[in-house]
Chains A and B, each alone.
Chain A
Amino acid sequence: MRHILLLLLLIVVLSGNLAHASDPKGTETLNTQPEFPVDYVWVLVCGFLVFFMQAGFAMVEAGFCRSKNTTNLLSKNLIDFVVASLVFFAVGYGFLKGKDIGGFIGSGHWFLLGESYDVGIYLDFFWQLVFCGTAATIVSGAVAERLKFSAYLVYTLFVSLFIYPVYAHWVWGGGWLSRLPFGVGHVDFAGSGVVHAVGGLVGLAGAMVLGPRFGKYGKDGKPRAIPGHNLALAALGTFILWFGWFGFNPGSTFSAHHLRIAMVAVNTNLAAASGALTTLLLIYAKTHKWDLGMTLNGTLGGLVAVTAPCAWIEAWAAVVIGAVAGLLVVGGVEFLESRGIDDPVGAVSVHGINGLWGLLSVGLFADGTYGLYSLEPPYVTGLLYGGGAGQLLAQLVGIGTVAAWGFGLGYVLFKVMDLSFGIRVLPEEELRGLDLYEHGTPAYPEFTTHRMFVGS
């Protein structure tokens, strides 16, 4: 711990920007850019909405899992934003938005000191932080009901310190992916890839290293349903996430002066609706039941997929993108289960698979009417709007990169932790619930019995 502190201090000193501040009062910024207040308010309010998505994730995960693990899931969803806030402030933001080094990593802004003591930097920091927190919290769903709390603490540290900021630098910090010589370079408007695919794929790695929950597979090897304990919480969480997404996507213009925010909001909503309806009808065709749980997943899948293209497409494309997302959620859940991968809340299908689909869809549907967070050219144009295959190619490179980076580093992280101190709770702890053993606090202390009818 002391070495880490010394190292961080050294970085701060070497960066040599402790000397003077930029515009901590904001008066200079206001004088030179008198139109900025509306943009600041826009970005901050949208950022507050994105923060509230933490509550959405907490409710979805708690609702989709069993009551005996509720305290554990709520604790994990709280602590990942806590750790991300501090780590991202200290170092992560510097890796993302600091001065670019070779297209790979940023350097600067350490501890928001010196030059970074500036209203514009603080605004940008807050915006980037809530996104980092979102990526981190996605993983808790995929590893739910069996990952040690201590392992989650370490995981959160590394994701918000390194895995997320470095990849985000490649796309949003001026790194190599944004400078690809195809199309306008790899683009990801609000983070289908940067936030959701990273979270979903690290989650996939975690679920694979952990193995399935006890009782997920019968003696015949067939997957079984482990029903969640509260669909009311899961539905509330989905509504909160949907609401939060109206900050996540439209706020990513980073300017209220881009009236394009209206298109972004409409596209975001349409993809959610189309993802939900597709999933509902698909499961009805298979089971003749109107399945709420999977429909909630389909809603979120649509939202994830439209996150990358939302500013660059027309409304009809958002409907198509959402519909494909619904198919991918259902197909993804079944495929993963058939491969022995237990993802209790469907996080890998919703965020991982649809994050990649969102990146791809930009290369198809971008219509050339909006630029790189700018009203000026270059505009983003996909295959179907005469942009040729360039943008699609840039998106494919990004897909391969995020898959390798997120899944690869995630796998190494969970594997190293597992070999060094073990990441899975003991079998009896898993059976009785993590709440009792890891936290000492059952979420529903008046329910004293947990019936276990896990047979065959």
Chain B
Amino acid sequence: MVKLETIVREERVAEVVAALEQCGYPGVTMYPVEGRGSQKGLVEQFRGRKYEIPFLPKIKLEVVIRDEDYERVVEAIIAAARTGEIGDGKIFACPIADVVRIRTGERKEAAL
């Protein structure tokens, strides 16, 4: 099993969640986050003087998937989240040792 931590644009969240559902993963956790990548934040101005906003608001989506679905899901997320401009976000993947469904006590892939 793999956990995908996906950082996306706020305005793309609905598309990414729909794509995950299409891939068979309706369950997802989201966090409003702030961060920056190579674009290094934003420049705004107030009464004629510019200032930097060091972090930009983004949404982090967490979903745990089966190993065999990995390429398919990653492709689906890319298709849903991509605009081609700087700031589209990143996907971080890491292995998951176990999953427990608290209601039934099911383990591993059965609990997904």
Residues of B within 8 A of A (CB): 44-51, 54-55
Contact = CB atoms under 8 A, between A and B. Distances in A.
B7 to A, nearest CB: 19
A293 B46 contact: yes
Contact of B46 (A227, A334, A337): A227
B46 A228 contact: yes
Contacts of A287: 45, 48, 50
Contact of B45 (A225, A297, A334, A346): A225
Give me the 3 closest cross-chain CB pairs, A-B, nearest first.
Answer: A225-B49, A293-B47, A227-B46
Contact of B48 (A224, A291, A453): A291
A226 B50 CA distance: 10
Given A223-B49, A227-B46, A346-B47, 8 more contacts: A224-B51, A225-B51, A226-B46, A286-B48, A287-B50, A289-B45, A291-B48, A453-B55
Contacts of B48: 283, 286-287, 291, 293-294, 330, 333-334
Contacts of B46: 225-228, 293
Taking residues whose C-beta sits less than 8 angstroms from the other chain, chain A's interface range is 20 to 34
A453 B44 contact: no
Contacts of B51: 224-225, 227
Contacts of A334: 48
A293 B46 CA distance: 6
B47 A225 contact: yes
A293 B51 CA distance: 14
Contacts of A297: 47
A333 B54 contact: no
Nearest to B54: A453
Nearest to B52: A453
Identify the interface centre among B44, B47, B49: most chain A CB within 10 Å of its CB.
Answer: B47
Contacts of B49: 223-225, 337
Contacts of B47: 64, 225, 291, 293-294, 297, 333, 346
A291 B46 CA distance: 7
Nearest to A228: B46
B42 to A, nearest CB: 12
Contacts of B54: 453, 455
A293 B45 CA distance: 9
Identify the interface centre among B48, B49, B54, B55: most chain A CB within 10 Å of its CB.
Answer: B48
Contacts of A225: 45-47, 49-51
Nearest to A279: B48
B37 to A, nearest CB: 17
A432 B54 CA distance: 20
26 contacts: A224-B49, A225-B47, A225-B50, A225-B51, A226-B46, A227-B44, A227-B51, A228-B46, A283-B48, A286-B48, A287-B48, A289-B45, A291-B47, A293-B46, A293-B47, A293-B48, A294-B47, A294-B48, A297-B47, A330-B48, A333-B47, A337-B49, A346-B47, A453-B54, A453-B55, A455-B54
Nearest to A345: B47
A339 to B, nearest CB: 15
Identify the interface centre among B45, B49, B54: most chain A CB within 10 Å of its CB.
Answer: B49
Identify the interface centre among A64, A224, A225, A289: most chain B CB within 10 Å of its CB.
Answer: A225
Nearest to A226: B46
Nearest to B51: A225
B68 to A, nearest CB: 42
Contacts of A346: 47
A286 B54 CA distance: 23
Contacts of A291: 45, 47-48
Contacts of A455: 54
A64 B44 CA distance: 15
A330 B47 CA distance: 9
Nearest to B47: A293
A286 B45 CA distance: 12
Interface string A348-382: 00000000000000000000000000000000000
A226 B48 CA distance: 11
